Structure 1
């Protein structure tokens, strides 16, 4: 996702509208593709809160004769497509995107609430930023809990030890090396070593299962695939 910082009223409206739409669209999609109930509850809250904020932004921007984009930008659409095309459950991917989205939203709204050039939009930013901070705190707690559960939210992809590159989904991978190792071990592998993230965001390394040494991969969704 692109970093957000607003320089003008129209710039703020563009970025706030796109970010808000992404929150609603991704959360509507997540309702049917995540497994953890707390994440479903969070997604429902995003639909409600960001839906209300989007409506308010439309009204304020309209009063200020500013245009509100109706579609996502290319990067947010690509992120949404990753969720749409990802194999359920998509808990890790959705949580990761929500963490990034709320970091960006809080910065955007804090900056405009402090330095905004349009009084009406500045008031809107000031009234909204605390809710965004609450969302960020909630998703960080969910993420911390998810990180402590190895392999519980996204089951490993079943393989027959033959290469299955199609099962690994390229994309921005937020797993640290330690988390990647833990996920792979949670899928039943031992002696996990030589982990390195490739240019597609996939962690690759060596591991042992059933006495056999295998090449293993972990994508941003938490899918684990092995090959000889």
Structure 2
């Protein structure tokens, strides 16, 4: 009986190891380094923009912290990647091109401070999701970097949400979404009314045709 338990115990350990290896294999170290670096560059460039265009002291203070923290994180990540001779990582120009997809885009009717605050909430939510998936990386140095950096990113997200509330960005974003929903509803009602009007008109025409149709047993005299 004890031998059987040992066999089953060994099989269970082996199965867990296989499952763990499969999960780890789903996260590619080089892809993570490139995407994390590009997102970090986007944070830095957007923060520099905020220092130039922002008007709120809270925005400027937050932006400077983003420059400091993300510059340090990118430098550490770059050092880890350079030490891996067999890794193929995009150069700075390619990373900057990737970063452009994440850089702030201001919407009509939105102040820069509000746009920046909203951008930072979304950007950090996406980066946190990336880092949480990367906790399954097999490379021990990258895993250590991820586990050290993730709490900082979560703190950034809380700060970004506070900044959004302070600048009115949260309210502006809600009103913008409600405006889109209202306009969509107006368009749908207009289309329904147009369809109803068309059907009513067709019904009137049908009634006219019925009224002008000759009764059975009668003839119409020529005009």
Query: For this structure pair, what is the TM-score category when the shorter chain's length is used for normalisation?
Result: 0.5 to 0.7
TM-superposed CA distance for 1:37, in Å, is 0.8
Which has the larger helix fraction? Answer: 2
TM-superposed CA distance for 1:145, in Å, is 2.5
Out of 122, 125, 132, which is 1:103 matched to?
A: 125
TM-score normalised by the chain length of structure 1: 0.59
- Say whether residues 1:20 and 2:45 are aligned partners: no
What is the aligned partner in structure 1 of residue 73 from structure 2?
Answer: 53
- Say whether residues 1:91 and 2:122 are aligned partners: no
- Select the structure of larger CA radius of gyration: 2
**Alpha carbons 1:109, 1:129 under 8 Å: kept:** yes
What is the aligned partner in structure 1 of residue 183 from structure 2?
Answer: 196
**Alpha carbons 2:114, 2:168 under 8 Å: kept:** no
**Alpha carbons 2:47, 2:64 under 8 Å: kept:** yes
Which has the larger strand fraction? Answer: 1
What is the aligned partner in structure 2 of residue 123 from structure 1?
Answer: 144
Q: Secondary structure of the equivalent of 1:7?
A: coil
TM-score normalised by the chain length of structure 2: 0.60
- Say whether residues 1:177 and 2:175 are aligned partners: yes
Higher relative contact order (CA 8 A, sep 6+): 2
Q: 1:86 to 1:19 in 2, by over 3 A?
A: farther
Matches of 2:49 and 2:151, distance apart in 1: 25
TM-superposed CA distance for 1:144, in Å, is 2.0
Out of 142, 145, 155, which is 2:166 matched to?
A: 145
Q: Secondary structure of the equivalent of 1:195?
A: helix
Q: Secondary structure of the equivalent of 2:52?
A: coil
TM-superposed CA distance for 1:147, in Å, is 2.7
**Alpha carbons 1:34, 1:88 under 8 Å: kept:** no
Q: Secondary structure of the equivalent of 1:31?
A: helix
Aligned length: 158
**Alpha carbons 1:147, 1:179 under 8 Å: kept:** no
What is the aligned partner in structure 1 of residue 58 from structure 2?
Answer: 38
- RMSD value, Cα: 3.3
What is the aligned partner in structure 2 of residue 64 from structure 1?
Answer: 84
